[in-house]
Structure formats: structure tokens, C-alpha cells
Amino acid sequence: MPDLRNTLAGETSPYLRQHADNPVAWQPWGEPALTLAREQDKPILLSIGYSACHWCHVMAHESFEDDSVAAVMNRHFVNIKVDREERPDLDQIYQTAHQMITGRHGGWPLTMFLSPDGTPFHGGTYFPREARYGLPGFAGLCEQVAAAWRSKRADIEAQNREVLGALTRTVPVSGSPVALDGAPIQALRALLIGSFDREDGGFGGAPKFPHPTDLAFLLQQTADAPAREAALRTLRCMAAGGIHDQLGGGFCRYSVDERWEIPHFEKMLYDNGPLLGLYADAWALTGEDDFRRVAEGIVGWLQREMTDPAGAFYAALDADSEGEEGKFYVWDRAEVARLLTPEESALAGRHWGLDQRPNFEGHHWHLKVAAPLAEGERDLREAARAKLFAAREQRVRPGRDDKILTSWNALMIEGLVHAARVFAREDWLAPATRALDELKSRRWRDGNGGGRLWTTDHLPGYLDDYAFLLSALLERLQAGYRPEDLVFAQQVADALLTHFEDAEHGGFFFTAHDHEQLIQRPKTGHDNALPAGNGVAAQALQRLGHLLGEVRYLDAARRTVELFMPLMRRQPGGFATLAEALAEAIEPPSMVILRGPEAAVADWGRRLKTRALILLLPNGLAGLPPSLAKPESPHVNAWVCRGVNCLMPVADFHELAGVLQGRDFR
């Protein structure tokens, strides 16, 4: 039997390279490792995590860096390490299987024991080196699993057949024809309002996640004051909490408590893109300056810490620095007193909770907004913030995962473009456009069968890459028309239909038709940490279909919504993105085309406050598709359409605002 060595040093993933020096003989997921498991009839120990994950680091330090634990792992298993951000397909499959086998929700690190064919038969998440927390010690667990593999093969194989059957049944298929109605939308609204934490915002108890998709759904209910207020209350509480970096901007992944006070400290690109768009919308609805300040903080963090030299955006910042979670972010009062004037220190103590008991591990403070500013204290707060931020910048920084992920970049580009539109910030639109163009240059590759997206430089794209990028392109089209954006949007949409659509049953698989064959091919409509690819695809295809009058896109979107309607009716929770697509399938969104002199068209676009799709098409544009080629004019004309119904052109701005507010399509 060959003596395996750790082969992760040559991998592109920072997470995999973090484990390259482990005594565990880690292999990347791929045919060589899978073939070895089959040839040697050895089970696979699959470990899935990501570079910013605190408990992944803990398990690595405790077990994977320990020679004696590694010896047990190497003796009994083919050990495979996976970056869940590069391989979300594997993560989806094995998280689902974990829940089926254990009856518990998963997480990271995910630790699964597989038969050589890839079918999981045992697993969990974090396991300590020695038994504690009610969990078995990891080396002992490995010995038990290996013994079961030798002595209970028939039982394992029987369970494997059940697991594979259950995984197959999670992929929805179409049944009898489905009528679309608003019942799932109302049910989701009732579910969210019923679980809304009126004191601290958010939904349910600890741990508490931002759930941008649910907040966006509620914020869209413009005529529903309780729904809108639940979203706004949550956004206010999050902004005041420790989940929001009070000094450097941006949000951590989640809060370990129900008050948003102490976060799990990693910062993820995929959270901050949608949250940026939400805070822009909250400002547009309320005019509250704190919402604007939060948006500016996210953009500041993005440009300062998360932008690569070519303009694309990095994936994440670690929770740990110097081996300790949160060390970069927390304070002691003596340090604050040394850095600030007495007046600034008094304000900081009252405003950020430094005059209260320590809130982090019993002897440190993590900043939150404990008391509002008094009249005239804003400048003093900013002076204190700047000094503390400058001092924090001298600390050892958390690690940064510098992967450029197409789907996560698309989420940030969309949020940044939307915020640029809402706040009329050309200086924000420029980096968003640069990132979009870089993504197109780096990740769109032409081939014999048409263009294809790649999720990283070496891995082909998933559904989320196509759906999120298409949605981002539609947002960018509304910020100023560029013909190449519309052409690219059509290319992405066509590739999405060609490579991912389930033509028989509707909806979109997570992996392409020619993807590596795995034990399951996911097709889910649930929002998780990311919006559901099927929901984003349905909404984006609907909008592009109405924009261009393209029936193929509209039909594919409708089949997707119809496929998931029975699931949405049975259990609406987690279907916020598809609920928004359902709403637009029932009643298409308004679309406004502005034609006329460039400066006047831009002025109207800035002044319009609407959720309608707006296209600014100044005179002189050539090659417009027939659906957009409205007559040029010496003054601005506005065409307002919904679906196939269009009103007569409007030449007065106030009349247009009234039309959009009244939604007059008689």
C-alpha cells in the first residue's frame, strides 16, 4: 500500500494551503483520491471548511496538526480536504446528507465519513481532540468508524441506499399544472412577522444571522407598514451592534447572541454586498443619516481591504488573528484612555459601551452603540473613531482569503451599483464597473458551444455564478446604458438556459449538464447564506425577458416559479428570493425608458425615486434592440411599461412620478 503524502501545497485555495503542512495526508477532491479509495477499499474522511472559519482553525490546531491523530486518520482513511467556497456543490450535497444522517443542522467544519463511492455513512461538524462538550474525541471516533467499516459493511451499504434515495427525493420534479397566486407571499410575510424580535430586530433567537434575503423581501412590501418596519428595525439594531464594525465598516457573518453584540468575527463579501443595497434602500425610504453612514462604511471597507489590484473583490477576512478569535477588534479601557483625550474617552465610554462591564471573554470590550449621540457630539465621535481606527490598523491583521469568486463578486457589484444609484455616487459606480469588466475579462470564456463562466480561474461555474452575474448586469444597465452590458447579459442568460435548465421539469440545477458526476445533482430554491440561485435566476430572466420581449427567458422563469410553488405553499420559510420572483410573475414590474438629451435624461434618472426598472437611453445610441428603440426627442420622453402593456409617452417629470406612484395601467 503506497505511503500517501499531503499534496495540498500546490492548490490555489488559501484554505487548502493552510493545511499543506499538516501531518495528515490530505488530498484535494478529485479523481486520483477517489480512485485510490476505490482501489484500496478504504473509506474517505471528508473535511469541508473555509479559510475564515474559526472552528475550522480550532479543529485543525487540535487534531490535524497532531501527529498521533494524523496517524490514525492516515491509517484508516483517504483524507480529502475541500474548500466549501470553491466547491459549493460538494458542500450542498454533504450538508444535506449530514442533516439526514444526524438529524441536526450542519455547519463548518463539516466532517463526513464516506464509502469509496462517495456516499456518506457517518458525520458531524466540529469534533474536539479529546472528548468534551458532549462530543467524542476525534481520534477515538475515527477508530470507531474504521471498525464499523470493517465489521458492519452490510448495515452501512443498506444505509447508503437509503441516503441516496433520500437525496434523490430532495430534487423537485414537476407534477400537475400549477396556478400562480400570492398565498406563499402572504404566508412568508406572516411567518417572518411572527418570528420577528421586536426588541432587538432580526428573527428568532441566538445565534442571529442578518438574512438579507428576508429583509429585502420585507422592505419590498412598500404598502405594508409592519413588514417595512420589521426590516428597518432590524437594520437599525444591526448597525448599532457589534456585528457591525463600528470603526472600520462592514458586517461580520453573524452574532452569537440575540442582541447583535458579539459577532463571529469573520467578514464575508457575500454578506456585505446585499447589505449595502439594503442600507441604501433604507436610507431612500427614511432619509436617516445612520443608514447612509453604514453604507459608506461598507464601501470604505471594500475599497480599503477587499479590492485586488485589477479591481475585483476578495472573498473574506478571517475571524482570528495571532491565533485568537476577535483579537484584532476588541479593546481594553486603558488602551482607549491612552489614545483619546479625556473628552473623547468619556464619549467613547458612554457611546460604545466601554463604561459598562466587559462583554468579550470577561476582560475585553467589543464596541457597540450603547447610547445615542447627544446633540453636537458627532464630530467628537468621529475624532475618537479615527484615533482608535488608526491604532487598530497597527495590530496584526486577520488573514484574508484572496480568492476571486464570481458569484460573490456579482453580489457585491450589484449592491455597490445599487447604492451608487440611490446615493448618486459616481465614485462608487466606477469601482463597481471596473470589477464587472474585470470579472467578464477574467471569467467569461468563449468556446465552440458558446461562452461559459468560471467560478474561479480553474473551476467551471455553478448556477449562482450565472444567476448572480445576470442580476448584477441588469442593475448596471440601470446605472447608465452600455451596449456591451446588454449583450453580455443575453450571453449569460443563454448559457444559463443551455447548461443548467431542467427542460423536463423546470428550474435550474446547481451544476452544469457536463459537470463531474456526484452522488446528487442539487436543485434547490431555498435561500441559505446566499440567495437561492433558482430564485435569482427566475427574477433576472423575467426582467430581461420583459426588457427585450424575449419569450424564452419568460417561459424558463415561469417554469422555475411553478416548480417550487408546491414547496413554497407547504413551507414558505427560506423562499424569500423565489417569493419576490413569484410576485413579479403575477404582476410584472414597471419599466421606464427615458429618451432625450443626455444631461436631461440623467437628471430625470437621478430624481426618480421608484422601484421600477429604469433605462436611461440618451439620444445618439445606435443598435438598440427593437423593444428599447424609442424615438429620439429634443426633450425627455418617458415610456412606462409593465409586461406587454405600455402607456403613452410622458414628457413631464411630475406627471411621470404620478404615473409610477399610481401605477395606472388601465
Residue 262 has pLDDT above 50, yes or no: yes
Q: How confident is the model at residue 221, as a pLDDT?
A: 86
Residue 259 has pLDDT above 50, yes or no: yes
CA-CA-CA-CA torsion sign (213, 194, 250, 314): negative
Tell me the pairing of strands 44-49 and 78-83.
parallel
Q: What is the mean pLDDT of the chain?
A: 95
* Segment 573-591, tens digit of pLDDT: 999 999 999 999 999 989 9
Q: How confident is the model at residue 663, as a pLDDT?
A: 57
* pLDDT band (50, 70, 90) for residue 177: confident
Residue 665 has pLDDT above 70, yes or no: no
**Residue of 96 and 611 predicted with greater confidence:** 96
Q: How confident is the model at residue 643, as a pLDDT?
A: 82
* pLDDT band (50, 70, 90) for residue 660: confident
Burial of residue 542, with CB atoms counted within 10 A of its CB: 0-12 exposed, 13-18 middle, 19 or more buried: buried
Q: What is the mean pLDDT of residues 22-45?
A: 97
- Are 8 and 16 in contact by the 8 Å Cβ rule? The answer is yes
Distance CA 270, CA 455 (A): 14
> Residue type at 538?
A
Q: Nearest CA to 271 among 204, 205, 217, 317?
A: 317
Residue 261 has pLDDT above 90, yes or no: yes
- Are 590 and 612 in contact by the 8 Å Cβ rule? The answer is yes
Distance CA 641, CA 237 (A): 38
Q: How confident is the model at residue 610, as a pLDDT?
A: 82
* pLDDT band (50, 70, 90) for residue 3: low
Q: What are the cell numbers at 44?
A: 474517505
**Alpha carbon 539 to its chain's center:** 16
Q: Where are the domains of the chain?
A: 8-169, 183-318+401-586, 329-394, 590-662
Instruction: Cis check for the bond before 207: say yes or no (omega within 30 of 0).
Output: yes
- Packing angle, helices 212-219 and 576-586, rounded to 10: 30
Distance CA 50, CA 83 (A): 5
Are 8-169 and 183-318+401-586 the same fold in CATH? Answer: no
Distance CA 266, CA 601 (A): 42
Q: What is the mean pLDDT of residues 310-339?
A: 96
Q: Distances in Å between the alpha carbon of 651 and those of 547, 618, 620, 629?
A: 21, 14, 19, 17
Q: What is the mean pLDDT of residues 166-190?
A: 94
Q: What is the mean pLDDT of residues 511-535?
A: 97
Q: What are the cell numbers at 655?
A: 406627471
CATH 3.40.720.10 fits 183-318+401-586, yes or no: no
Architecture of domain 8-169: 3-Layer(aba) Sandwich (3.40)
Kindly state the percentage of the chain with pLDDT values over 90.
92
Instruction: Cis check for the bond before 589: say yes or no (omega within 30 of 0).
Output: no
**Residues linked to residue 78 through DSSP beta bridges, in sequence order:** 44
Tell me the pairing of strands 316-317 and 267-268.
antiparallel
* pLDDT band (50, 70, 90) for residue 666: very low
Residue 2 has pLDDT above 80, yes or no: no
Q: What is the mean pLDDT of residues 13-35?
A: 97
Q: Distances in Å between the alpha carbon of 259 and those of 240, 368, 523, 546?
A: 10, 10, 34, 42
* Segment 476-501, tens digit of pLDDT: 999 999 999 999 999 999 999 999 99
**Residue of 79 and 611 predicted with greater confidence:** 79
DSSP assignment string, 597-655: -HHHHHHHHHH---SSEEEEEETT--S--TTT-PPP-SS-EEEEEETTEEPPPB--HHH
CB burial string 428-437: b at 16+ within 10 A, e below: bbebbbebbb
- pTM for this one? 0.96
